[in-house]
Homo-oligomer: A and B are copies of this chain.
């Protein structure tokens, strides 16, 4: 049987309480006893039993990340795991453990309450893919310590954080204008694709601000796949007047877009500038390598970790905000002038 706190106390000629204090770094213990206790621990090869400790402390020092995984999740949604990695790092720093639970939105509601009721974890990080109005009510009613990753698309009480995709759109547009491109087109996802829409909004707001007109046909909407990007780009090229730069809502569309430009012998970046969002999976693989407005999802996860720890400490805290700033990465697809401007955001 493994040694317990009592064994240590006995060997050190002291009480269990004192041993506990030593372990928890209490100041009111004399130098000597600390040494005696530590010596005893070493001799007995003592290790505190976390299950007992968690029980006594009424805290497990852990948080659970609730999301919807399933087959191919790793391939289809690497961002999720990037977030998870960041989250783990932040929690680890404060010696909190990270648990993972995969669920549907329907199941999530019951599960989240279960976690709190049964003290399975001190707090929850919930991916927006599993939230619902019901969950919102529950979380509100039972004051469940949580952070939602991703802005909910309905009125809610959640604490949530997200990336500012609108700002990312602004940055892309602003940068292209700075490069000297004069007429921009946007090829992106459909109305339901919130991320694409936010990026588009950012783009439009900049164009508006700079009094750059954008013909209807310069805003294309389609699926987020290569073929659709190809088709949308073709459509833009069909217009009488053509833009001199393209903003692609994501990497898949950008891939199709670049193919279409190649097939039409349009030179990037000279005849047409191309920019997209995110690094993944093609931006550095395509020829030319694509300039992007990148989003640091790892950092988003890290920040989330910080926040959930704060929430666990101070349950009243309320956040609803965009926390991670996009950043511009200039590559070869946007160098219009010989010397591209060193515009840093």
Partner of A73 from B47, B81, B281 at Cβ < 8 Å = B81
From 102 to 146 in chain A, residues with beta carbon under 8 angstroms from any chain B beta carbon are: 102, 114, 117-120
From 53 to 86 in chain A, residues with beta carbon under 8 angstroms from any chain B beta carbon are: 54-55, 58, 60, 62, 64, 69-75, 78-86
Instruction: Say whether, besides A88-B69, A88-B102, A120 and B50 are in contact (CB < 8 Å).
Output: yes
Which one of A80, A81, A84 has the highest number of Cβ atoms from chain B below 10 Å of its Cβ? A81
Contact with B along A208-228 (1 / 0, CB 8 A): 000000000000000000100
Are B75 and A226 interface neighbours, CB within 8 A? no
**What CA separation (Å) do A84 and B80 show in the bound complex?**
12
List chain B residues, Cβ under 8 A from A100: 84, 88, 98-100
Are B75 and A118 interface neighbours, CB within 8 A? no
Partner of A85 from B47, B55, B70, B281 at Cβ < 8 Å = B70
Does chain B have a CB within 8 A of A13?
no
List chain B residues, Cβ under 8 A from A280: 75
The count of residues in chain A whose C-beta lies closer than 8 Å to any C-beta of chain B is: 51
Are A118 and B85 interface neighbours, CB within 8 A? no
Q: How far is the CB of A94 from chain B (nearest CB, A)?
A: 14
Are B97 and A99 interface neighbours, CB within 8 A? yes
List chain B residues, Cβ under 8 A from A62: 99
Partner of A72 from B49, B82, B99 at Cβ < 8 Å = B82
Are B78 and A119 interface neighbours, CB within 8 A? no
Partner of A82 from B51, B74, B99 at Cβ < 8 Å = B74
List chain B residues, Cβ under 8 A from A279: 75
From 220 to 254 in chain A, residues with beta carbon under 8 angstroms from any chain B beta carbon are: 226
List chain B residues, Cβ under 8 A from A118: 47-50
Does chain B have a CB within 8 A of A342?
no
List chain B residues, Cβ under 8 A from A84: 69, 74, 81, 100
Does chain B have a CB within 8 A of A187?
no
List chain B residues, Cβ under 8 A from A80: 74, 81
Partner of A92 from B47, B97, B102 at Cβ < 8 Å = B102
> A81 — nearest CB in chain B belongs to which residue?
B74
**What CA separation (Å) do A33 and B46 show in the bound complex?**
43
From 1 to 53 in chain A, residues with beta carbon under 8 angstroms from any chain B beta carbon are: 2, 47-52
Are B101 and A298 interface neighbours, CB within 8 A? no
List chain B residues, Cβ under 8 A from A81: 73-74, 78, 80-81, 84
Partner of A102 from B74, B89, B99, B226 at Cβ < 8 Å = B89
List chain B residues, Cβ under 8 A from A70: 85, 89
Are B78 and A117 interface neighbours, CB within 8 A? no
Are B285 and A255 interface neighbours, CB within 8 A? yes
Given contacts A47-B117, A74-B79, A100-B100, 15 further A-B contacts (CB under 8 A): A47-B114, A51-B60, A55-B55, A69-B85, A73-B85, A74-B74, A74-B82, A74-B84, A74-B298, A80-B81, A81-B84, A85-B102, A88-B100, A98-B99, A98-B100
- What are 8 residue pairs bridging A and B, where the CB atoms are less than 8 Å apart in the complex? A50-B118, A51-B54, A55-B55, A74-B82, A80-B81, A81-B84, A97-B101, A99-B99
